[in-house]
Every structure is written in structure tokens, then in C-alpha cells.
């Protein structure tokens, strides 16, 4: 996608123009979307996306430009435009480097797919979505089944004025079922959508019929659920997507994107006990085939496993290049972006709470007279500065006398992330992760959220009191 | 140029394979400059374009797109579109027949000023706003320009291209006076860079936000009401949902089946006109190559037409008005160009409320039913004096409101409309509207 001479020319020109650091990011995507409703194709689109982003640092000021004209002349013009524009605003530092010695590193294929993009025709994919549809028809109340298959293949090259050159390839596949069930009086939905960094062998790990069946089962639970009570009570958060609370209301607070601007309540808290000693919270970009994994980040740094909270003590932030420059913390391979139209910022990869001491999830329910089991969570809102959140419970049950009891719907969890993480009093061992799309300054990116079953001693539950 | 070559390549391959195909290539160049502290502190320079193909075979439609223009990528794109079409159930689709449309340049050198001058303009805008002692903070002061180029061709004869663009200055200050804090924003959009004037824009913004400082609650009641052009533009965007041929085809338009009926006050004449020389969203043809022409939608209150592309026209049995809209990466839709609510004799007010802004349109307005319940900001006119008012909600039905318009302002203001279109809106007057306030 990018030849060495072009990269050298662009990066050197930027340095001569006064930039302290220059980075060229080039990528090419192939994407396919296939969507069915009740087994008929509703949408089938394919796309190649290709472009380059150029980021220049002048001190800690950043300028960014992108183009999908990858011709040498276009990239040179882009560089000149940025340098000239910068000149209108501040002083141009006349420094700048000479020749570049680019050292090339290529991904080893840790997350590579076994079944390639081309291995099956489109009709084969439609058959899988029809299996999903059939799997969801578990009850007469199932009214509509939507199946979605997303396939992304991304080649990335990052070269910078420090001489780094990285080639990475990321292949991701996700299959989503959304089921609408109705008993004539009410309509409820269920949702299940596994996704991993691999190819069509996703279906070997998650049979299409099972994906449909899981979504349908959730819709049926909600159909027989009663309105949730309101009040403050102990809450057991389900494993897997239950971790979205900590992603939104804790993870985002330890990205340098907010910490460097002192816009997070967890700014300057390294080494402090900020969570319950039960909690060890990890952001891991290296999980083999993880939905949020890649060998290198979008700034060309090898990803790593970053322990954010160790037994309750804040041990690291998630640090990108700009964040490192602003705060002095070492980079953690966390610079990510949706695509070439965004400059990278510090972002999560696969973020989860590690297994704890409780032998069985059932142990977490024991001793709770009245509480809520939030088995699965849906959408929520978070104020990034304070970590105040509210999340809808997508599948919930009452806990009565230490046992999981009847299903409830309409429950909302309300609280502050930094407080909730202190109130975790038990963590089970059944760690599971689920894929999601995380939206922030640098766009929408694939991330995994996860945790074992986690008990929080009290959360405000808003329901239909 | 490479887009022309890409288009020709894909059409040649499509003919070889015996499928009908339409190729749309667009590219957008954007420049965004933001100022703070007397300097340009944010620079965005963007160039994004690509090629999209729509294949029609046996009444089935398939789409694919590519931002890479090499032959291998283009061939992959066509293969995918053909395969995507084959997966669909037959829907009776057809690719419209067209002809040569020529190449047009609608902006010429309109945006060709030096970037340094554009940077100086946004710095001047920021400086003039911050200099006002009532300004407590400035969220954003920005210059932005967009230039688009489109090339369209099909195996059924369509062949054309054009280039257009616009520039704008915008800012969003927070102003404070005593305990009263107001944030607002304004944007000046022009076709040629030299029409921008940072001094004028800054004065307009300060006036528009500053006039609301010290606002007091409005008492609940019925008031004669004037909607400022900004608010009229919001109402028109809401109305567009029901005027879209797509909504009609899907059975979601409340105006479906009412062609020829009185649907609004006789003072209302609404036209979509892509041929306006001064129109910021003018275009010689739509996304399917249907030549542009002026389309009266409502004339003297009578519903004359919906906005249609070839597909919605076929599905509803109505005439195609040339309002196909899509980007290279999206599927076929319907959208306006320059939507003009024609000016009237003037709309003044001796006693009542001027509504200057409506908030929460996405949540508080139902485009299907036209029911609107929104928080507003405004000015109370009473006994020859004007004072700012706040904390009130307006509840009305859009369709009933349009029937009750009893005066239309005599000047038009251009505002960005939905879906890439522009809206030219006057003030509107409606008497005895119900307000819920203190």
C-alpha cells in the first residue's frame, strides 16, 4: 500500500516543516455486510475503504489530515498544506531531521483467520443466516428474526519519523441475531452477537442455530418478566457483557485522553486503592483472536497486556503517544482509531475483571435476601468526568432467599463507576468476554468487555416502582 | 482523471458481463480550521472519495463500493455487487434510462483563497467574539469548506459530472450576564469564500445569543407567535419526512393520497429547486442522472408532489421528480436539494412570542404523526417592548400548524437542511398557539 520512498519523503518533509514528530498511517479495508429479516436478504453490501492519515506533532499540539488519494503527489501536497497551515497559527520550529532509517516489523499472524474471506461464496453465508433464523424459531411468540453477518479485513501500515514501520493485518467476523417476540400484549427483544478476530470459523465456535436460539431465549424471558422493583439493593452482574458497566464508567476514566486533560476523577490516582481488593482489572490487546486484539496498535506499537487495577490499586492508565507526551506515563500500545479519517487516541482493547475467589457463581447469590441478578446489560449513558452511569438491564431476575427467582424487565442500574467498583464484594471464576463497539473521540472501534460473575453490595435500581 | 477512468472501466466490465450497472463516483475535500487564544489550534484537512456501483439484474439490486481505483479493486467491487444482487429476492427493480448530462462547474474558483487567509478569518472571528465582555467561554470558532465532485454513468446511457462547494464560519459562545448563562451558535454559509465576513458573523452571533441573557420564565397561555427562520427550517425538515416518496412508498407519510388537496395555509408555497444559481445545494442532475428541475411541492397550500427517485416513483405510480440521493458507499435514497419556502408579504407581531429556537427535535417530534412537543427559547413582545423568555414548551401538530399560518416573512435565510440539502426559510406567523410555561 505504501512504498518506502514515499513514506520517507512525507515524513522528512514534515520534519523539515518544523514538526517534532510525524506519523503516516495507511490502511485498506474489505468489508461485507449481509443482513436478513425472516430469512430473506434485506441488505447485502460490500466495500473497499482505503486511505492515509498524516499526523504531525508540534510540541503537544497535533494536526491531522487524511486522504484516500495515495499518489505520491497527493501525499506530498497534504504534508505541505499541514505545514503551511500550522505556520499561520504559531511559530514554526525550524528544526527537523534528515534521512530516515525505517525499521520494518510485520505481524506474525497471531490472530490470523483459518478460513479466509474468499473461502466461501455469498450463498453459503446466506445459508448460515437461514440456520440462525431457524434456530430462533423456538416458540410461536417469535415474530421476527434478524440476522447480521459482518466481515472485516483490514491491512494497516504505520510509519513514523522515529523510524518505525509496522505492517499489521486484522480480520474480524461477527454474527448477530436480534429476535422480536410478542404475546399479543407486549413485544420484547432478545439479542446475541458473538464476534472474534478470525474468519468464518466463527461458526465452528458458535453454531448459527445456537446464536439465533440464544437471542430468542432472551426475548422469551423478557416476555414473561414482570416490571422490576425500584430501590437500593445488592446486585449480581452477569459474566461477559455485565462488564460493560466497568468499561463505560471505569475504563474510559483511565484513558489518557481524559486523564491528560484532567477531565477524569481518577486523574493522579496511580498507586491508590481505588477499587475493592477483589478487583483486578486488565486491558489486554494480545488475547489470541480477541475481538479487540491486534498485534500492533494504530500508532505502530506492539500491543500489550496492561494491568490497570491490581487487587484494587490503580497501577496503570491506558496511554497513547499524545497522552505519554502530556502526562509522562509510558505508552501501553493503546493508540486506536476507527479508520484513517480519525487521529488515534488512547482506547480500550479487551478489558475485563480477572477471576476471583468465589468457587461458583451460585456462591454470589447465597446470603442475598432480596437483590437483582443483572444477567445481561444493554445500552447506557455515562458522564465521562465523574463516571455517573445508567444502564438498562436487558435480562434480569430477582434474587430471593439466596436463589435466582422470577425474571424482571425495565430495570435500570444507576450509580458512579468509581463508587461501584469499591462496592464489589465477591468475584467468581467464570470469566467470559463479549464483543462490542466502543465509540469515542477516535470513532467506533471493536472492543471486548468481560468479567466473571461479580457481586456489588448495593446499586440503585430504577424500575417501575 | 481517475474517476472518469474508473467509471468507464466498471461500465465496460458490466457490459461484458451483460448486467445493467450504474457507477457513481464522488470525492469530497474538506478543510476545517478552529481558533482559540488568537491562533489556529485545530487543523483538519480531508480528502475522501470513492466509487459505488449499483447493479440491476432480473429485477434484483446489488451494491458495492471501493475507495481504491485500481482495476483489481474495481473488478472485485463489480463481482461483489453482482453476487449481492443475486442473493436478493426479485423486487421488479430497473435501472433508469438516461442520456448525456455534460460536465458542470458550479463553484469555479470560489474557494481558491490561500489557507493563510482562511486561518486569519477564523482567528478574527474568535477575537471579535472573545472581546465581548459578556462572553464567558467559546466552545468553538470554526471555518469550514467543502468541495464535492461527482461523476455518474450507467450502461443505460447516463453520463455526467459536476463540481460544487461552499464555505462557512461558525461559532458557539457561552455568554453570561449576572446569573443568566446562555449558550448558542450560529453559522454563515456562503458559496464563495470572499462572501464571508468575520466581523458580520461575530456581530450576528453575539446578537443572537446575547439577546437571550436575563431571560425570565414565560407564563402559560396562548400567544400570537412568530417563528424565526431557524425554527421554520426545523419545521420544514420535519415536514420533509412526509414529503419523501420513500415514506409514501413505505406507507409512513401522513400526506400520502392527498395530492391536489389543501394541506396548508394558502400562504404556503414550498418548492425544491436544484437549478437556483444562488442555491448552495444546486446540482445539474440527481444521483441517478435525472436532470434537475424545479419541483413545486405545495402551491398556495395545495399538495402538488412528493420527492421521488425512479424506485419510489415506480412503487407509488407517480412521476420521478429527480430527487435520488446517495453517496458512493450508500444505497439509493430520496432527498431535497434547495428547499425553498417562498417569501410572503411580511410577518410582524405587536403582542406575542417570537420563537427563536427549538430544542430536542430528535426526541420531542414525531415525524410520522407530526406531533411536536419541544422546549423553546424566545422573545416576548408586549406593549412596544421586547424581553427574552425561556423555560417554556410548545405543543402542536405540524400539519395543523401549517394550516394556521396567517403571515409569511418577506426575507429568506439559508440554513443547512437534512441529508445534504439546504433550506431557505422565512419567518412564519401563527396566532393563538398554546405555550406551557411557568
Residue A86 has a pLDDT of 74
Which residue shows C-alpha cell 470469566?
A: A431
- Taking residues A448-462, report their average pLDDT: 95
- The answer to whether residues B201 and B222 belong to one domain is no
Cβ <8 Å between A341 and B46: yes
Cell numbers describing residue A277 = 481488593
Residue A453 has pLDDT above 90, yes or no: yes
Closest-approach residue (CA) in chain A for B43: A63
CA dist A441 → A22, A226, A344 (Å): 20, 38, 8
Give yes or no: residues B254 and B399 share one domain.
yes
- A33's enclosing H/E stretch is strand A21-37
Categorize the per-residue pLDDT at A99 as very low, low, confident or very high, splitting at 50, 70 and 90: low
Question: Burial code of B185-210, b = ≥16 C-beta within 10 A, e = fewer?
Answer: ebbbbbbbbeebbbeebbebbbebbb
Of A295, A52, A33, nearest to A152 (Cα)?
Answer: A33
**Cell digits of residue B93:** 427493480
Beta bridge partners of A335: A346
pLDDT above 90 (res A213): yes
d(CA A206, CA A135): 12
- Interface probe for A, chosen from B26, B40, B331 (most Cβ of A below 10 Å), is B40
By the 8 A CB rule, do B399 and B430 touch? Answer: no
Taking an 8 Å cut-off on Cβ atoms, the answer to whether A67 and B46 are in contact is: yes
Assess contact for A436 and A449: CB atoms under 8 A: yes
> Alpha-carbon distance B391 to B374, whole Å?
11
Return d(Cα B207, Cα B209) in angstroms, integer: 6
Give the strands of the sheet with B302-303, arranged side by side: B302-303, B295-299, B270-272, B338-341, B422-425, B413-416
Q: Where are the domains of chain A?
A: 4-30+44-101, 117-224, 231-462
For residue B141, the surrounding DSSP H or E stretch is: strand B135-154
Give the gap in angstroms from C-alpha A439 to the nearest C-alpha of chain B: 20
Reference A397, options A153, A233, A164, A247; nearest CA is A233
Provide the 3-class DSSP secondary structure of residue B221: strand
In chain A, what residues touch B119 (CB-CB under 8 Å)? 85, 88-89
Among the candidates B206, B226, B241, a domain finishes at B206
Q: Are residues B30 and B164 in the same domain?
A: yes
Which residue of chain A has the CA closest to B28? A67
Cβ-nearest to B67 among A46, A50, A78: A50
From B171, B206, B241, the end of a domain falls on B206
Nearest residue to B53 (alpha-carbon basis) of B97, B13, B93: B13
Taking the model in full, what pTM does it have?
Answer: 0.89
Closest CA to A128 of A220, A219, A206: A206
A300 φψ region: left (φ > 0), alpha (ψ -120 to 50), beta (else)? left
Q: Closest CB to A48: pick one of B35, B68, B115.
A: B68
Least Cα distance to A197 among A65, A331, A294 occurs for A294
CB-CB neighbors (< 8 A) of A32 in chain B: 80
DSSP 3-state of A228: coil
Please name every residue paired with A185 in a beta bridge, in sequence order, or none if there are none. Answer: none
Same structural domain, B230 and B202? no
Q: How far apart are CA B147 and CA B165, in angstroms?
A: 4
Find the residue in A nearest to B38 (Cα). A89
The single-letter DSSP state of residue A255 is: B
CA pair distance A212, B9, nearest whole angstrom: 42
Q: For all residues of chain A together, what is the average pLDDT?
A: 92
Task: Give helix B115-130 / helix B198-210 axis angle, nearest 10°.
Answer: 30
Give pLDDT, residue A97: 47
pLDDT band at A164 (very low <50, low <70, confident <90, very high): very high
In the structure grid, which three cell numbers stand for residue B179, read together?
Answer: 446569573
Distance CA A333, CA A285 (A): 8
Has residue A282 got a pLDDT over 80?
A: yes
pLDDT at B1 > cutoff 60: no
Scanning every residue of chain B, which has its alpha carbon at the shortest distance from the alpha carbon of A58?
A: B41
pLDDT of A179 above 90: yes
Q: What percent of chain A has pLDDT over 70?
A: 96
Chain A residues within an 8 Å CB radius of B126: none
Q: Mutation test of the interface with chain B: which of A68, A88, A155, choosing the one with the most B Cβ atoms within 10 A?
A: A88
The minimal CB distance from B115 to the residues A44, A81, A121 is found for A81
Using a CB-CB distance cutoff of 8 angstroms, which residues of chain B are in contact with residue A80? none
- CA A368 to mean position of chain CA atoms: 32
Q: How far apart are CA A209 and CA A127, in angstroms?
A: 11
Sign of the Cα torsion B321, B326, B332, B336 reads negative
Closest-CA distance of chain B to residue A116, Å: 16
pLDDT band at A388 (very low <50, low <70, confident <90, very high): confident
Query: What is the percent of chain B where pLDDT is above 90?
Result: 80
CB contact under 8 A, A66 and B46: yes
CB contact under 8 A, A88 and B331: no
Are B196 and B236 in the same domain?
A: no
pLDDT per position as a tens digit, A112-154? 999 888 889 889 999 999 999 999 999 999 999 999 999 999 9
Among A34, A68, A123, select the one facing B49 at the smallest CB separation: A68
- DSSP helix/strand/coil, B421: coil
| Residues contacting residue A83 through CB under 8 Å, at least 6 positions apart | A13, A14, A17, A18, A19, A56, A92
For residue A416, the cross-strand partners are: A388
Q: Does A56 touch chain B (CB under 8 A)?
A: no
A390 touches chain B (CB under 8 A): no
**What are the tens digits of pLDDT across the range B267-300?**
999 999 999 988 889 999 999 999 999 999 999 9
Single residue among B181, B206, B231 that ends a domain in this structure: B206
Across-strand partners of B391? Answer: none
Quote the pLDDT of residue A87. 58
Give buried/exposed letters for A377-386 (b at 16+ CB in 10 A, else e): beebebebeb
A117 touches chain B (CB under 8 A): no
Phi-psi region of A128 (alpha: psi -120 to 50; beta: other; left: phi over 0): alpha
Q: Give me the domain span that covers residue B301.
A: 215-438
Cell matching residue B98: 438516461
Distance of CA A131 to the CA centre of its chain: 28
Which residues of chain B have a CB within 8 Å of the CB of A82? 43, 45
pLDDT of residue A66 exceeding 90, the answer is yes
Of A47, A67, A85, nearest to B65 by CB-CB distance is A47
C-alpha distances in angstroms, A232 versus A235, A362, A426, A427, B28?
9, 21, 18, 20, 52
Q: Which of A40, A82, A122 sits opposite B84 (nearest CB)?
A: A122
What single DSSP character describes residue A117? G
Measured between alpha carbons, how far is A215 from A204 in angstroms, rounded to an integer? 18
Q: What pLDDT was estimated at residue A95?
A: 46
pLDDT surpasses 70 at A93: no
Beta-carbon contacts of residue A412 (< 8 Å; ≥ 6 apart): A390, A391, A392, A393, A461, A462, A463
B76–A28 CB contact, under 8 Å: no
Phi, psi dihedrals of residue B321, rounded to the nearest 5°? -95, 0
CA–centroid distance for A306 within its chain = 15
Quick one: pLDDT band at residue A96, thresholds 50, 70, 90?
A: very low
Q: Are residues B179 and B34 in the same domain?
A: yes
What gap in Å lies between CA B228 and CA B53, rounded to an integer? 42
- Residue holding cell 444505497? B331
Same domain assignment for residues B241 and B384: yes
Asked if A413 contacts A245 with a C-beta cutoff of 8 angstroms, the reply is yes
- Which chain B residues are Cβ-neighbours of A47 within 8 angstroms? 64-67, 329
How many whole angstroms separate alpha carbon B323 and alpha carbon A241?
43
* Residue in chain B lying closest to A53 (CA): B46
Cα–Cα distances in angstroms (integers) from residue A417 to residues A237, A290, B74, in the given order? 14, 25, 48
Count contacts between A and B (CB, < 8 Å).
115
CB atoms within 10 A of CB B222: 11
Nearest to A45 among B43, B73, B84 (CB): B84
Over residues B306-347, the pLDDT tens digits come to: 999 999 999 999 999 999 999 999 999 999 999 999 999 999
pLDDT for res A90: 42
Give the phi and the psi of residue A159 in degrees, each rounded to 5.
-130, 140
Tell me, yes or no, whether B195 and B265 share the same domain. Answer: no
If one counts the domains in chain B, the total is 2
Tell me how far apart the alpha carbons of residues B56 and B62 are, in angstroms, rounded to a whole number.
Answer: 7
Using pLDDT thresholds of 50, 70 and 90, give the confidence band for residue B421: confident
Same domain? For B174 and B300 the reply is no
pLDDT classification of A464: cutoffs 50, 70, 90: low
- Tally of CB atoms within 10 A around A402: 14
Res B364 pLDDT > 90:
no
Q: What is the CATH number of domain A117-224?
A: 3.30.2290.10
Q: Which residues of A touch B142 (CB under 8 A)?
A: none
**Environment class of A439 (CB within 10 Å of its CB; exposed 0-12, middle 13-18, buried 19+):** exposed
Q: What is the pLDDT of residue B208?
A: 94
Domain identity same for B175 and B223 = no
Selecting from A61, A87, A121 the residue whose C-beta is nearest the C-beta of B41 gives A61
Cell numbers 520494518 correspond to A104
Residue B184 pLDDT greater than 90, yes or no? no
For chain B, give me the number of helices (H) and strands (E)? Answer: 9, 23
Q: Do residues A107 and A167 lie in contact, with contact meaning Cβ atoms separated by under 8 Å?
A: yes
pLDDT tens, B96-137?
999 999 999 998 888 999 888 999 999 999 999 999 999 998
Stretch A427-452: mean pLDDT: 95
pLDDT in tens, A37-49: 999 998 999 999 9
Amino acid at each position: 500500500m505504501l512504498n518506502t520512498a514515499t513514506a520517507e519523503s512525507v515524513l522528512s518533509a514534515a520534519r523539515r516543516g518544523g514538526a517534532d514528530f510525524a506519523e503516516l498511517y495507511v490502511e485498506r479495508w474489505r468489508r461485507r455486510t449481509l443482513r436478513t429479516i425472516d430469512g430473506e436478504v434485506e441488505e447485502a453490501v460490500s466495500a473497499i475503504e482505503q486511505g492515509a492519515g498524516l499526523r504531525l506533532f508540534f510540541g503537544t499540539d497535533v494536526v491531522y489530515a487524511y486522504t484516500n488519494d495515495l499518489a505520491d503527489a497527493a501525499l506530498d501536497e497534504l504534508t505541505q498544506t499541514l505545514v503551511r497551515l500550522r505556520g499561520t497559527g504559531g511559530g514554526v520550529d525550524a528544526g527537523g531531521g534528515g534521512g530516515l532509517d525505517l525499521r520494518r516489523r510485520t505481524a506474525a499472524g497471531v490472530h490470523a483467520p483459518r478460513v479466509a474471506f474468499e473461502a466461501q461464496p455469498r450463498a453459503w453465508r446466506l445459508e448460515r443466516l437461514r440456520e440462525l433464523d431457524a434456530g430462533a424459531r423456538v416458540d410461536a411468540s417469535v415474530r421476527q428474526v434478524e440476522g447480521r453477518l459482518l466481515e472485516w479485513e483490514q491491512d494497516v501500515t504505520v510509519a513514523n519519523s522515529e523510524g518505525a514501520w509496522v505492517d499489521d493485518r486484522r480480520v474480524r467476523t461477527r454474527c448477530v441475531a436480534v429476535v422480536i417476540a410478542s404475546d399479543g400484549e407486549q413485544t420484547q427483544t432478545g439479542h446475541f452477537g458473538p464476534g472474534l478476530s478470525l474468519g468464518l470459523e466463527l461458526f465452528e465456535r458458535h453454531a448459527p442455530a445456537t446464536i439465533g436460539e440464544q437471542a430468542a431465549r432472551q426475548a422469551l424471558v423478557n416476555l414473561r418478566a414482570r416490571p422490576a422493583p425500584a430501590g437500593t439493593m445488592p446486585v449480581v452482574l452477569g459474566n461477559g457483557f455485565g462488564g460493560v458497566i466497568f468499561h463505560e464508567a471505569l475504563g474510559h476514566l483511565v484513558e489518557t485522553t481524559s486523564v491528560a486533560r484532567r477531565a477524569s476523577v481518577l486523574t493522579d490516582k496511580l498507586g491508590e486503592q481505588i477499587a475493592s481488593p477483589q478487583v483486578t482489572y486488565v486491558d489486554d490487546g494480545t488475547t489470541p483472536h480477541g475481538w479487540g486484539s491486534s498485534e500492533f496498535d494504530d500508532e505502530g506499537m506492539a500491543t500489550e497486556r496492561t494491568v490497570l487495577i491490581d487487587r484494587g490499586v490503580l497501577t496503570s492508565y491506558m496511554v497513547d503517544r499524545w497522552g505519554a507526551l502530556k502526562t509522562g506515563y509510558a505508552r501501553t500500545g493503546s493508540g486506536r482509531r476507527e479508520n484513517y479519517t480519525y487521529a488515534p487516541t488512547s482506547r480500550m482493547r479487551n478489558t475485563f475483571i480477572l477471576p476471583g475467589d468465589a468457587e461458583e457463581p451460585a456462591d454470589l447469590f447465597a446470603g442475598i435476601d432480596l437483590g437483582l441478578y443483572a444477567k445481561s446489560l444493554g445500552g447506557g449513558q455515562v458522564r465521562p468526568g465523574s463516571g455517573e452511569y445508567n444502564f438498562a438491564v436487558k435480562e434480569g431476575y430477582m434474587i430471593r432467599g439466596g436463589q435466582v427467582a422470577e425474571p424482571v424487565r425495565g430495570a435500570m442500574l444507576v450509580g458512579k463507576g468509581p463508587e461501584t467498583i469499591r462496592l464489589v464484594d465477591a468475584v467468581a471464576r467464570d470469566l467470559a468476554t463479549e464483543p462490542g463497539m466502543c465509540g469515542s473521540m477516535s470513532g467506533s472501534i471493536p472492543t471486548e468487555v468481560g468479567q466473571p460473575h461479580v457481586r456489588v453490595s448495593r446499586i440503585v435500581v430504577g424500575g417501575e416502582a | 482523471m481517475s474517476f472518469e477512468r474508473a467509471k468507464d472501466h466498471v461500465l465496460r466490465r458490466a457490459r461484458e458481463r451483460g448486467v445493467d450497472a450504474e457507477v457513481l463516483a464522488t470525492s469530497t475535500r474538506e478543510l476545517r480550521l478552529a481558533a482559540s487564544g488568537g491562533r489556529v489550534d485545530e487543523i483538519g484537512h480531508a480528502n475522501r472519495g470513492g466509487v459505488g456501483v449499483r447493479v440491476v439484474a432480473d429485477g434484483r439490486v446489488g451494491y458495492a463500493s471501493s475507495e481504491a481505483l485500481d482495476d483489481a479493486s474495481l473488478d472485485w467491487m463489480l463481482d461483489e455487487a453482482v453476487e449481492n444482487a443475486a442473493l436478493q429476492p426479485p423486487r421488479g427493480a430497473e435501472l433508469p434510462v438516461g442520456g448525456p448530462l455534460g460536465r458542470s462547474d458550479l463553484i469555479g474558483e470560489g474557494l481558491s483563497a490561500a489557507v493563510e487567509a482562511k486561518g486569519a478569518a477564523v482567528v478574527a472571528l474568535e477575537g471579535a467574539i472573545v472581546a465581548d465582555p459578556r462572553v464567558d467561554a467559546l466552545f468553538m470558532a470554526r471555518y469550514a469548506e467543502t468541495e464535492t465532485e461527482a461523476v455518474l454513468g450507467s450502461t443505460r446511457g447516463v453520463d455526467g459530472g459536476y463540481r460544487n462547494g461552499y464555505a462557512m464560519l461558525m461559532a458557539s459562545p457561552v455568554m453570561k450576564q449576572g446569573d443568566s448563562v446562555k449558550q448558542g451558535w450560529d453559522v454563515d454559509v456562503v458559496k464563495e469564500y470572499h462572501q464571508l465576513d468575520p466581523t458580520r458573523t461575530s456581530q450576528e452571533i453575539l446578537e443572537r445569543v446575547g439577546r437571550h441573557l436575563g431571560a425570565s420564565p414565560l407564563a402559560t397561555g396562548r400567544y400570537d407567535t412568530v417563528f424565526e427562520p431557524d425554527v421554520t427550517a426545523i419545521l420544514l425538515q420535519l415536514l420533509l419526512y412526509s414529503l419523501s416518496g420513500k415514506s409514501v412508498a413505505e406507507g409512513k407519510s401522513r400526506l400520502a393520497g392527498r395530492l391536489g388537496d389543501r394541506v396548508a395555509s394558502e400562504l404556503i408555497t414550498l418548492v425544491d429547486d436544484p437549478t437556483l444559481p444562488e442555491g448552495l445545494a444546486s446540482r445539474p442532475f440527481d444521483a441517478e442522472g435525472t436532470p434537475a428541475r424545479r419541483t413545486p411541492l405545495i402551491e398556495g397550500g395545495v399538495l402538488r408532489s412528493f420527492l421521488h427517485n425512479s424506485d419510489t416513483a415506480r412503487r407509488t405510480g407517480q412521476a420521478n421528480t429527480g430527487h435520488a440521493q446517495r453517496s458512493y458507499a450508500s444505497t439509493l435514497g430520496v432527498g431535497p436539494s434547495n428547499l425553498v419556502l417562498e417569501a410572503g408579504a411580511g410577518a410582524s407581531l405587536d403582542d406575542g412570542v417570537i420563537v427563536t429556537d427549538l430544542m430536542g427535535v430528535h426526541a420531542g417530534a414525531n415525524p410520522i404523526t407530526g406531533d411536536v412537543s419541544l422546549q423553546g427559547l424566545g422573545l416576548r413582545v408586549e406593549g412596544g417592548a421586547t424581553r427574552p423568555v425561556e423555560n417554556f414548551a410548545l405543543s402542536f401538530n405540524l400539519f395543523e400548524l401549517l394550516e394556521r399560518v396567517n403571515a409569511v416573512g418577506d426575507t429568506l435565510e439559508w440554513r443547512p437542511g437534512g441529508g445534504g440539502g439546504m433550506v431557505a426559510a422565512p419567518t412564519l406567523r401563527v396566532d393563538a398557539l398554546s405555550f406551557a410555561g411557568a
